[in-house]
Amino acid sequence: DIVMTQTPLSSPVTLGQPASISCRSSESLVHSDGNTYLSWLQQRPGQPPRLLIYKISTRFSGVPDRFSGSGAGTDFTLKISRVEAEDVGVYYCMQATQFPRTFGQGTKVEIK
Amino acid sequence: QVQLQQWGAGLLKPSETLSLTCAVYGGSFTNYYWSWLRQPPGKGLEWIGEINHSGSTNYNPSLKSRVTISLDTSKNQFSLKLSSVTAADTAVYYCARGFSHWGQGTLVTVSS
């Protein structure tokens, strides 16, 4: 299985300030079709996960542009340009390049 | 707008079979993979498996011997069965369309 490792596991952030989460995979996530199936999901307290970004950097419908994704191969980053109160929750990276699909441990974003 | 609504028994005894169903409203059943995932209380996400509109399945090897995912295209529903459950199977179970649209989650507790 591909192991997804996120850092940090907790990120206290001041409102209006940026936040960044890293995700590293144990193997390259480049698929044989040339795509890299790395996604980011947000899970607010008590809610199901919500897809934010797929294929490294494509924002899903309705996702604010303060969220951005970058990276390649085995190293990926999610950035929030200016954290808002509604961004509080746990963020997961996820790979869908290989079976089984696997997730990072999650990074808890909270307001200082 | 696609909506997923799931239901099933929330309390099971060890060795029983978990059974959940997810109904899809407002979208086509074709051209997508329909997934089941779970999240133990206070922990991260685990992918259980998926099925496409033609009935082709992929399962997590860690659960494969106990899992069956099926679909009923006439009802726009898909289902999860997990046999021989133990306390380790206690989790919130989610259905999803790929990873972009999620059901509300069902807490399944296994206890004698």
Give the pLDDT confidence score for residue B31 in this predicted structure.
84
Compute the average pLDDT of residues A69-80: 98
Candidates A6, A83, A85, A81; CA nearest to A38 is A6
**Cβ pair B47:A50 closer than 8 A:** no
Give the pLDDT confidence score for residue B59 in this predicted structure.
98
What does the block give as tokens for B92?
């919130």
Give the pLDDT confidence score for residue B85 in this predicted structure.
98
**Cβ pair A103:B45 closer than 8 A:** yes
Compute the average pLDDT of residues B28-42: 92
Q: Give the nearest partner residue to B94 out of A48, A92, A100, using CB atoms.
A: A48
For residue B29, pLDDT beyond 90: no
- CB of B91 closer than 8 Å to CB of B108: yes
Q: Give the nearest partner residue to A106 out of B44, B47, B104, using CB atoms.
A: B44
Chain B residue with Cα closest to A91:
B44
Give the pLDDT confidence score for residue A58 in this predicted structure.
98
Residues of A in Cβ contact (< 8 Å) with B105: 48
How far is A78 from A88, CA to CA, in rounded Å? 14
Question: For A16, phi and psi rounded to 5 degrees?
Answer: 90, -10
| pLDDT band per the 50, 70, 90 thresholds, residue B30 | confident
| pLDDT band per the 50, 70, 90 thresholds, residue A78 | very high
DSSP-assigned letter for residue A9: S
DSSP string, A51-87: EEEETTTEEPTT--TTEEEEEETTEEEEEESS--GGG
CA triplet A65, A66, A70: central angle to 5 degrees? 85
Share of chain B above pLDDT 90, in %: 89
Candidates A101, A9, A29, A31; CA nearest to A71 is A29
Q: What is the pLDDT of residues A16-70, one digit of tens each?
A: 999 999 999 999 999 999 999 999 999 999 999 999 999 999 999 999 999 999 9
Share of chain A above pLDDT 70, in %: 100
Question: What average pLDDT does chain B have?
Answer: 96
Residues of A in Cβ contact (< 8 Å) with B58: 99-100
Q: What is the pLDDT of residues B46-101, one digit of tens each?
A: 999 999 989 999 999 999 999 999 999 899 999 999 999 999 999 999 999 999 99
Residues of A in Cβ contact (< 8 Å) with B104: 48
List, as ranges, residues 44-73 from A with C-beta within 8 Å of B.
48-51, 54, 60
- CB of B36 closer than 8 Å to CB of B20: yes
Give the pLDDT confidence score for residue B99 in this predicted structure.
95
Residue type at B77 in one-letter notation:
Q
Strand partners, A18: none
* Chain A closest-CA separation from residue B5 CA (Å): 12
How far is B15 from B93, CA to CA, in rounded Å? 18
Asked if A105 is an interface residue toward chain B (Cβ–Cβ < 8 A), one would say yes
Residue type at A63 in one-letter notation:
V
What does the block give as tokens for B70?
């099926």
